[in-house]
Amino acid sequence: MTSCLRLKKSNCKNCYKCIRHCPVKSIRFSAEQAHIIDDECILCGQCFVVCPQDAKQIVDETEKVKVLIGSGEPVIASLAPSFIANYDGVGIESMREALKKLGFHDVEETAIGATMVKREYDRMLRDENRDIVISSCCHSINLLIRKYFPEQLPYLADVVSPMVAHCIDIKRRIPNAKTVFIGPCVAKKDEADQHSDVVDAALTFEELTSWLKEEQIELKKEVITDDKGLARFFPTPGGILKTMAQDAPGFTYMALDGIDACLAALDDIAQGKIHKCFIEMSTCSGSCIGGPVMEKYRRSPVADYMAVANFAGKNDFDVDQPDVSTMKQYYSPIDRSERVPSNYEIVEILRQMGKFKPSDELNCGSCGYNTCRDKAVAIYQGKADISMCLPFLKEKAESFSDAIVKNSPNALVVVNDTLEVQQLNNAALKLLNIRFASDVLGDQVVRILDPKAFLDVKRSRRGVYNKRTYLAEYDRYVDQTIVPAEDGRMIICIMHDVTAEEEARQRKEEISHQTVEVADEVINRQMLIVQEIASLLGETTAETKIALSKLKESIIDE
């Protein structure tokens, strides 16, 4: 199967929304990127619809069609009947006029092929000995049965789709014609590739709209109706049944749209609960007018149905019904080659996910899988990773952060924006002499700490870092850091106990002060001694001087 959906790797944000909406879980995650598994995909387009980052892209075949037109061969567009819902107020004549400006030779309605298909359904139910018949118009349903319900293949109508029937008819009527299908479906691109001998290319309405815009071609608002075209109902819920005779004896006719209803019906068929029934199936909710391209860009179920109903005629198109062999399509199973783990291997993977007993299996679906065991199987098959389990990651992160917080030597107090205590660690309990955290959790922080610093941080939205603070009621010194959390709803206080350091500093200061006092006292005493010595020396010198003077005078007198 060719890949009609591609991934823009840079856009994938690992949100798992695509896997949550994928009905068959055909998406693999590797290197933080989503990858579509072509062998398992049914091309329903839901991943394209729901991706919030537009990481899924439908392969654009506009250039391929331009090459076909440039070849000189007549290129005929087969326009899906849902066009009337996609292009509001624009009828087939207006579409033909616009597409001819693009270079198309002509435009016809796929509803012509739908008329042939519904007639073959009526013939099959009336003339053949059938039990259950499932319509084959929806390529995604065909892929679903071929890949996931191969035992139901005998019930899938062995009839070509309206697209293929119409393109066969075009090539029969117009020699050397090239055919291009235009509609709201992703899967039709794959079906066109599988029938490349009759369908040369397939465009979505989105591609056509972009092309018209590029060429500055405007669609004329005009709808011309007549009594033909009952098969235009095909893209609506129950639209196939509306066109059928529904006259096969003993048969019940029903229509199912939406993948969940179709899966449930296939399960019922497998269990033997359904018999003598014709089932119209479509993977899209709302059938083709709810197709992925229409759903993503303009989902209006009621208005779209009304547009189709008002455009559809009461009678069939005039067609030359092909012979039965031309309408035949044989569907074979498609092997997905999935490895199936044993129960022991599943249990081991569950253990790695932190799920040791059934009560640990939350089955929350956040990873995209319905149950934890489904997720374990996907891990075994290489589609998923253990890290996709949100509760596991949350528990792991909380366990890691709690280990850090609980074992931190620094006291940690967390308060909310109303200054109510939300969390304390063991160091905080010890520092603040609190026996149990529950004693203060939910109370105002004023009960354990001065709220002024918290209020200042709340008002200013600026943190205070390593401020030396004395907690008088605890006779403790701390280096206090108070910062607001990013969302502004929490304030975190971290306190490093520096009481021993502060006491050592104070003792050092006291010793220094005492040393200075002792030095001053010694100096003062020394000064007194010096002064006394000087005084004594002064008196002795004076007496000596007097004695010598007297001696001198005596000598002179003599």
d(CA 133, CA 124): 9
Token couple for 11? 């856009």
d(CA 188, CA 408): 61
Token couple for 12? 């994938």
Residue 28: count of CB within 10 angstroms of its CB? 18
Token couple for 204? 């979505």
Whether the CB-CB separation of 6 and 57 falls below 8 Å is answered with: yes
Whether the CB-CB separation of 81 and 185 falls below 8 Å is answered with: no
> Side chain identity at 128, as an amino acid letter?
E
Looking at domain 408-497, which CATH architecture does it have? 2-Layer Sandwich (3.30)
> Side chain identity at 41, as an amino acid letter?
C
d(CA 364, CA 347): 18
Whether the CB-CB separation of 157 and 135 falls below 8 Å is answered with: yes
Whether the CB-CB separation of 144 and 153 falls below 8 Å is answered with: no
Token couple for 87? 């292009």
Residue 352 CA from chain centroid, whole number: 24
Among 233, 229, 224, 185, residue whose Cα is nearest residue 207:
185
Residue 340: C-alpha distances to residues 42, 152, 495 (Å)? 20, 21, 55
Token couple for 305? 């149905």
Token couple for 549? 């003077």
- What tens-digit pLDDT sequence spans the chain (558 residues)? 447 777 777 677 778 888 888 899 888 877 677 888 888 999 998 888 888 888 878 889 999 999 999 999 999 999 999 999 999 999 999 999 999 999 999 999 999 999 999 999 999 999 999 999 999 999 999 999 999 999 999 999 999 999 999 999 999 999 999 999 999 999 999 999 999 999 999 999 999 999 999 999 999 999 998 899 999 999 999 999 999 999 999 999 999 999 999 999 999 999 999 999 999 999 999 999 998 877 556 678 899 999 999 999 999 999 999 999 999 999 999 988 777 788 888 888 888 877 888 887 777 777 778 788 887 888 887 777 776 676 666 666 666 667 777 788 899 999 998 899 988 999 999 999 999 988 899 999 999 999 999 999 999 889 999 999 999 999 999 999 999 986 778 899 999 999 999 889 888 888 878 887 777 777 778 778 877 776 776 666 666 556 555 655 665 555
pTM: 0.71
Whether the CB-CB separation of 51 and 17 falls below 8 Å is answered with: yes
What string of DSSP letters covers 9-48?
Answer: GGG-----HHHHH-TT--EEEETTEEEE-TTT-----HHH
Token couple for 169? 């008819």
340-407 domain in CATH 1.10.15? Answer: yes
d(CA 7, CA 58): 9
What DSSP element (H or E) covers 231? none
d(CA 351, CA 346): 9
d(CA 490, CA 437): 18
Q: Decide: helix, strand or coil at residue 90.
A: strand
d(CA 248, CA 157): 15
